[in-house]
Amino acid sequence: MRLVAALLGAFHGVTGAVGLALFLLGGEEWSVLVSALALLSTPGALLLAPRDRVLAAAWLVGAAVVYLLTGPGAARRTLTYSLPYAGAQVVAAVALLLRRAPDADAEPSARPSVPVRALALGAVATVVALYHGILGLWLVMTFGQEGGWARGWWMADAASLLSTPPAVALAWVAPRPAGAWLLAAAGLGVLATLWAPNLAPTQLTRALLLWLAPQLALGAAFLWSGRRRRSRP
């Protein structure tokens, strides 16, 4: 069950991150953004499930409805296209509701002990890691091939973005080093973005807010989480 949930969360997370990247790069309608966010919410709902199965199931059903209403035209016209996305969310919601709740007399160690705040931070960090990983690969493939792999600002920006997924993975065992890593990566990204030639003010603002601000926020959150963990008796 956990393996299926992990695969579903990763699949929807990657697909949603691709849709979000396409929207941010321009040329896509607002419906693409909404449907991408609906898919990106799947990992968060699955991470919430150990704490509140009913809320997680309602979250998944709501996301499925949003995807069916705002997704691509094929999702609204054909059942086959919507099955891997909205259909999978509904099936996961039903599975959560049918799953037997833990025994009230069970040992405390057998019950989920991860705080909701940590689950929410993990869900957000996973989405940001997927998003940054895809953007970093896009920078490498686009500017690397078009520029003949010439050195330039895009290398530092790609390195900054591609460092987010391993930093998020490190945060599960060492949040403070991961937080410092992300803050350093954000600093590198700021310098690289300011170094980029012929960058319009709107593009600069978008890069700073959507690429680098999440790294700063996650870095600060991981540092704070690590300090709280060390202060516990």
Short-list 155, 40, 165, 43, CA closest to 92: 43
* % of the chain exceeding 70 in pLDDT: 76
Q: What is the largest CA-CA distance in the chain?
A: 65
Q: Provide the b/e sequence for 152-174 (b: ≥16 CB within 10 Å).
A: ebbbbbbbbbbbbbebbebbeee
Cβ–Cβ contacts within 10 Å for residue 80, how many? 10
Crossing angle of helices 116-146 and 2-24, rounded to 10°:
50
Higher pLDDT, 177 or 48: 177
Q: Where are the alpha helices (DSSP H) in 147-200?
A: 153-162, 164-171, 175-195
Cβ–Cβ contacts within 10 Å for residue 199, how many? 15
pLDDT for 122: 77
- Assign 105 a pLDDT band (cuts: 50, 70, 90): very low
Q: Which two tokens stand for residue 142?
A: 């686009």
Place of tokens 């509904």: 90
Residue pLDDT, tens place only, 150-184:
556 778 888 888 888 888 888 878 888 989 999 99
Residue pLDDT, tens place only, 66-100:
888 776 664 545 666 678 888 898 999 999 888 76
DSSP state, 71?
S
Higher pLDDT, 144 or 170: 170
pLDDT for 109: 46
User: Alpha-carbon distance 148 to 166, whole Å?
Assistant: 27
User: Alpha-carbon distance 39 to 20, whole Å?
Assistant: 10
DSSP state, 50?
T
Report the amino acid identity of residue 213: A
Domain boundaries of the chain, sorted by first residue: 2-110, 116-231
Q: Which two tokens stand for residue 17?
A: 């991150």
pLDDT for 142: 75
Place of tokens 């919410």: 41
Lowest-pLDDT choice from 120-124, 161-165, 201-205, 228-232: 228-232
pLDDT for 81: 67
pLDDT for 191: 83
Lowest-pLDDT choice from 5-19, 130-144, 170-184: 130-144
Higher pLDDT, 223 or 3: 223
Short-list 181, 208, 64, CA closest to 125: 181
Q: Which two tokens stand for residue 53?
A: 């199965």
Lowest-pLDDT choice from 47-56, 99-108, 146-155, 186-195: 99-108
Higher pLDDT, 14 or 147: 14
pLDDT for 230: 57
Distance separating the N- and C-terminal Cα atoms of the chain: 34
Residues in the chain: 233
Determine if the pTM surpasses 0.75.
no
Q: What is the mean pLDDT of the chain?
A: 77
Residue pLDDT, tens place only, 108-125:
444 445 566 676 777 778
Helix (H) or strand (E) holding 74: helix 73-77
User: Alpha-carbon distance 158 to 138, whole Å?
Assistant: 8
Question: Has residue 8 got a pLDDT over 60?
Answer: yes
